[in-house]
């Protein structure tokens, strides 16, 4: 079993971190009994099975969120990091907007726009992103007649937020530090 911190196998350290996070959640005052349910993942999520980036490529991510997001391995690592911090909603919103821009059918576009709005934009949405009221109002007006650019302003705000906040935290994290060793 796990003995002494120096001798801890990597999986024991991951399990210890997972337990620490769950204990922190339990110590928070729940809003309802439903908040007491903590999901347990038998197998931790790993980055997508893609080729590990070169050191040069991974080092470029420090200065460019776009380069990170364009790389499947980088995107998966970034997503795993954000999930570990319970802050993946911004990235999920950004990805949903990218997927939305690929839709050709007006009917499917309207359906997807409604889904994105209900999941990320509306007040008290399950994965509500933090955008200002002006941006939220513009986005709502854009959704009266959905187009490929309906979420552009909100997506740019979230991209900027990830660039200024999430990316620097990711670069300081063990997720990134392991990549550049």
The 10s digit of each residue's pLDDT in 90-110 is 999 999 999 999 999 999 999
Residue 94 lies in a domain: yes
Helix axes 89-100, 152-161, angle to 10 degrees: 150
Which one, of 90, 70, 69, lies nearest residue 78 by Cα?
69
Q: What distance lies between CA 45 and its chain's CA centroid?
A: 13
Residue 76 lies in a domain: yes
Residue 115 lies in a domain: yes
CATH number, position 107 = 1.10.167.10
Q: What mean pLDDT is reported for the chain?
A: 82
Rounded CA gap, 144 and 150, in Å?
9
Residue 114 has pLDDT above 90, yes or no: yes
Percent pLDDT > 90 in the chain is 69
Residue 11 lies in a domain: no
Whole domain around residue 169: which residue ranges? 55-178
Residue 39 lies in a domain: no
Rounded CA gap, 59 and 179, in Å?
9
Percent pLDDT > 70 in the chain is 72
Residue 163 lies in a domain: yes
Give 137-178 pLDDT, tens digit per residue: 999 999 999 999 999 999 999 999 999 999 999 999 998 998
Q: What is the dihedral of CA 19, 22, 27, 28, to 10 degrees?
A: 160
Residue 130 lies in a domain: yes
Give how many domains the chain has, as a whole number: 1
The two most distant CA atoms of the chain are separated, in Å, by 61
Q: What is the pLDDT of residue 174?
A: 92
Within 13 Å of residue 155, how many CA atoms lie on the same side as its CB?
Answer: 19
> Which pTM does this prediction carry?
0.71
Is residue 120 very low, low, confident or very high in pLDDT (cuts 50, 70, 90)?
A: very high
Residue 79 lies in a domain: yes
Q: How far is CA 132 from CA 23, 107, 114, 128, in A?
A: 33, 28, 19, 12
Q: What is the pLDDT of residue 50?
A: 67
3 vs 172, more confident = 172
Residue 40 has pLDDT above 50, yes or no: no
């Amino acid at each position: 079993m796990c003995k002494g911190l120096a001798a801890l196998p990597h999986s024991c350290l991951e399990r210890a971190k997972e337990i620490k996070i769950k204990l922190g959640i339990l110590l928070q005052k729940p809003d309802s009994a439903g908040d007491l349910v903590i999901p347990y993942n038998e197998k931790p999520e790993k980055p997508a099975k893609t080729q590990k980036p070169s050191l040069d490529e991974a080092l470029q991510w420090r200065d460019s969120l776009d380069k990170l997001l364009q790389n499947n391995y980088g995107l998966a690592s970034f997503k795993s990091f954000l999930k570990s911090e319970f802050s993946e909603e911004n990235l999920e919103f950004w990805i949903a907007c990218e997927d939305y821009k690929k839709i050709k059918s007006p009917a499917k576009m309207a359906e997807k726009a409604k889904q994105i709005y209900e999941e990320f934009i509306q007040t008290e949405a399950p994965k509500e992103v933090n955008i200002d009221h002006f941006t939220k109002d513009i986005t709502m007006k854009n959704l009266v007649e959905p187009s490929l650019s309906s979420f552009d302003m909100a997506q740019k705000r979230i991209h900027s937020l990830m660039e200024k906040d999430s990316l620097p935290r990711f670069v300081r994290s063990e997720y990134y530090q392991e990549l550049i060793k």
